[in-house]
């Protein structure tokens, strides 16, 4: 056990020595000659001159010691399948997939787009790509053809790997028609489409283009496909951001820096040990899935659970039953999933033996206090660790790092800046650094961004510089576009996105603060607050809330009563300036498929504007409800 403050300070002030040490977690074919080249800011190159391979580090290197240990545990409550692949099995499957990709002409540097449900073949495809030095671009399965088409155009893949269908809540979701339509819409056409046929939805293959994975795989049962050693800076993959605030950005990741960052995070952040089991409930279409369903746990020699299904089917105990069955040590999920579970019978939590579990990590959106308390009590005081990051960063920026030094969590805070991150809060108007406690500023990172972070936006260096590095006046710093404060102990609290700040008669208010306040009313389950243009005050807050008990809301009087109570709570906690002009009650809130509130769309609709790019929205009916309420 060390001292976290020292560990962090060394990562910044003795940067190269610190990361040279971390690089030892990784197998290199050729050792790096230079740890960090930051001669052309803001473009950072990590472990320059080094050669490695992500698939080697995730799979092959473990064969000597743990060939017969579980590596990938595929569980589908949609198709009732459950299969464990040892490291030996995984090695064989990845080489079969790699051989098929090679047959399709895939070589180092080619892009391969993966549009798949949460099945084992999706993991094989990702690992096979990086094995060959090909650049994968996973697109969240079930995205509509329009969003898929724009990503196909942007990544211009030689090959697409897909499947006939996904399944959600027991309902088959055909992928093939969406894919065919997307390819039709896209100016770029892939040479081949590899189809994994799950026999869920019948389809007609396109002649000359579509190939059946099962028959191709059968030709390569004994495939031996060596890892292609690539330069550390060689791109491993591209991945699009969630699209919460607008057009998604194609984040480009390197190989060496990413491998080192994930390898080091396993002991330091997650306390994951080789031979243990990691269960990340995200989706491979998101960054959390890339880093902590696939690469992180495997690099760390752990078994990883790939789960297809809902958290509440067959019942709300399914995840905990998997924790018991596979002796999960580290679990990773999102607040939105915990809020779903919160509506279930709490007895489901005590039904299973969860003694193997060390900690539950949560990321992706603010972890509100009621949800944090609920899960913390439900898990009997086990560590609940909120961590804050972005698609761009590839691994957490803020967290408690119990693997370096045990530290308590604080409700509402994702903890401190992680080693490698030189986090600064700055004034958005002047760019001045805010060094005092409890000052509100934009959370920025001083360059070079640490290993594992984005190298650039795919094919658009100018957009990378302009989007992230030129928004704070007088300074070249990376902006996260999130507001935060830091308390006297160095714990950060995220207050919301910079474009979620409301300016009411000259007072700047974070929508998050108002949401927290409204959530403290005992009958509010969830709420979204947006700023709406107002002639008199510039902007006013407007709230859309989901009530826990809706029996009192069937008539106008009941709604007015609860609205009044909510307003009073805000008055008392934050003052009258923060009081929402209206509180509307809805049954669902519009979210992205990764569970993030689409405030941008709610705000547009509340102001009577067009909601813009909605390609990543999950449930259109939720937004429609708001359209109608506001119109009335
Ligand atoms: P886009 O950039 O396309 O608009 P996005 O920002 O939602 O979409 P992601 O990279 O998936 O895409 O999400 C990162 C953002 O999620 C962060 O910038 C922050 O706003 C929010 N976030 C992530 N983790 C946390 C957390 N632990 N607490 C609060 N907010 C979080
Ligand atoms: Mg973002």
Q: How is 484-521 classified by DSSP, letter by letter?
A: EEE-TTS-EEEEEEGGGEEEETTEEEEHHHHHHHHHTS
Count of CB atoms within 10 A of residue 264's CB? 29
* pLDDT for 558 beyond 70: yes
Ligand sitting nearest the alpha carbon of 287: 1
Q: For a pocket test of ligand 1, which of 143, 250, 389 has the largest count of ligand atoms closer than 8 A to its C-beta?
A: 389
Q: Residue 30's beta-bridge partner residues?
A: 51
**Which atom of ligand 1 lies at the shortest distance from residue 386's CA?**
27
The pLDDT, as a whole number, for residue 556 is 93
* pLDDT for 1 beyond 70: no
Give yes or no for residue 333 CB within 6 A of ligand 1. no
Give yes or no for residue 390 CB within 6 A of ligand 1. yes
pTM over 0.75, yes/no: yes
User: By alpha-carbon position, which residue is closest to atom 15 of ligand 1?
Assistant: 390
**Average pLDDT over every residue of 145-150:** 88
**Average pLDDT over every residue of 4-27:** 98
**Which atom of ligand 1 lies at the shortest distance from residue 592's CA?**
7
Q: How far apart are CA 453 and CA 149, in angstroms?
A: 26
The pLDDT confidence band at residue 502, using thresholds 50, 70 and 90, is confident
Q: What's the 207 CA to ligand 1 centre distance in angstroms?
A: 41
The pLDDT, as a whole number, for residue 537 is 84
CA distances from 241 to 263, 396, 410, 457, 493 (A): 23, 15, 28, 11, 22
User: By alpha-carbon position, which residue is closest to atom 1 of ligand 1?
Assistant: 243
Tokens for 179, please give them: 């894919």
Give yes or no for residue 521 CB within 6 A of ligand 1. no
* pLDDT for 413 beyond 90: yes
Count of CB atoms within 10 A of residue 556's CB? 8
Give yes or no for residue 386 CB within 6 A of ligand 1. yes
Give yes or no for residue 363 CB within 6 A of ligand 1. yes
Do residues 13 and 47 make contact, with C-beta atoms less than 8 angstroms apart?
A: no
Q: What's the 244 CA to ligand 1 centre distance in angstroms?
A: 8
Q: Residue 377's beta-bridge partner residues?
A: none
Q: What's the 476 CA to ligand 2 centre distance in angstroms?
A: 18
Flag the least confident range among 184-193, 215-224, 280-289, 586-595: 586-595
Give yes or no for residue 391 CB within 6 A of ligand 1. yes
DSSP one-letter code for 205: P
Give yes or no for residue 497 CB within 6 A of ligand 1. yes
Q: How far apart are CA 330 and CA 326, in angstroms?
A: 11
**Which atom of ligand 1 lies at the shortest distance from residue 245's CA?**
4
Give yes or no for residue 364 CB within 6 A of ligand 1. yes
């Amino acid at each position: 056990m060390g001292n976290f403050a020292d560990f962090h300070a060394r990562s910044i002030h003795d940067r190269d020595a610190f990361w040279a040490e971390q690089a030892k977690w990784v197998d290199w074919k050729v050792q790096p000659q230079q740890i960090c080249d930051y001669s052309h800011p803001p473009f950072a190159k990590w472990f320059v001159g080094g050669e490695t391979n992500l698939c080697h580090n995730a799979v092959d290197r473990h064969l000597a010691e743990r060939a017969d240990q579980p590596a990938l545990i595929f569980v589908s409550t949609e198709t009732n399948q459950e299969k464990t692949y040892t490291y030996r099995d995984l090695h064989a499957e990845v080489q079969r997939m790699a051989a098929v990709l090679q047959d399709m002409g895939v070589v180092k540097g080619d892009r391969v787009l993966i549009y798949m449900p949460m099945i084992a073949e999706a993991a094989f495809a990702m690992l096979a790509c990086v094995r060959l030095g090909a650049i994968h671009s996973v697109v969240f399965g079930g995205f509509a053809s329009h969003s898929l088409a724009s990503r196909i155009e942007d990544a211009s893949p030689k090959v697409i790997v897909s499947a006939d269908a996904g399944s959600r809540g027991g309902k088959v979701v055909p992928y093939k028609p969406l894919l065919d339509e997307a390819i039709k819409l896209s100016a770029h056409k892939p040479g081949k489409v590899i189809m994994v046929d799950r026999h869920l939805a019948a389809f007609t293959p396109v002649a000359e283009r579509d190939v059946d994975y099962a028959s191709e795989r059968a030709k390569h049962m004994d495939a031996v496909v060596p890892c292609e050693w690539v330069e550390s800076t060689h791109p491993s993959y591209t991945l699009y951001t969630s699209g919460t605030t607008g057009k998604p950005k194609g984040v480009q990741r390197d190989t060496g820096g990413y491998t080192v960052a994930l390898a080091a995070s396993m002991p330091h952040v997650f306390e994951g040990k080789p031979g243990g089991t990691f269960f990340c409930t995200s989706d491979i279409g998101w960054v959390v899935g890339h880093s902590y369903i696939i690469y992180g746990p495997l690099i760390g020699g752990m078994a990883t659970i790939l789960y297809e299904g809902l958290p509440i089917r067959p019942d709300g105990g399914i995840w905990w039953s998997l924790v018991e069955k596979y002796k999960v040590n580290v679990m990773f999920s999102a607040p939105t999933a915990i809020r779903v579970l919160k509506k279930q019978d709490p007895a489901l939590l005590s039904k299973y033996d969860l003694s193997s579990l060390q900690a539950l990590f949560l990321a992706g959106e603010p972890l509100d206090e009621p949800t944090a308390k609920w899960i913390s009590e439900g898990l009997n005081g086990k560590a609940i660790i909120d961590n804050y990051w972005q698609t761009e960063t590839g691994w957490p920026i803020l967290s408690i790092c119990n693997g370096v030094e045990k530290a308590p969590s604080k409700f509402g805070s994702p903890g401190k800046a992680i080693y490698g991150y030189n986090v600064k809060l700055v004034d958005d108007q002047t760019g001045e650094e805010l060094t005092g406690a409890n000052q509100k500023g934009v959370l920025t990172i001083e360059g070079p961004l640490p290993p594992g972070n984005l190298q650039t936006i795919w094919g658009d260096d100018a957009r990378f510089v302009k989007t992230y590095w030129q928004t704070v006046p007088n300074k070249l710093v990376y902006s996260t576009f999130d507001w935060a404060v830091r308390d006297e102990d160095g714990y950060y609290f995220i207050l919301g996105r910079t474009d979620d700040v409301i300016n009411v008669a000259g007072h700047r208010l974070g929508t998050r603060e108002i949401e927290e306040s409204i959530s403290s009313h005992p009958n509010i389950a969830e709420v979204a607050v947006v700023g709406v243009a107002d002639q008199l005050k510039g902007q006013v807050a407007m709230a859309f809330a989901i009530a826990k008990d809706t029996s009192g809301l069937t008539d106008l009087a009941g709604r007015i009563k609860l609205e009044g109570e909510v307003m009073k709570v805000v008055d008392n906690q934050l003052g009258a300036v923060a009081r929402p002009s209206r509180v509307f009650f809805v049954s669902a809130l519009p979210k992205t498929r990764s569970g993030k509130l689409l405030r941008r769309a709610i705000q547009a609709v509340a102001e009577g504007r067009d909601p813009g790019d909605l390609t990543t929205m999950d449930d259109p009916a939720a937004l429609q409800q708001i359209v109608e309420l506001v119109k009335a």
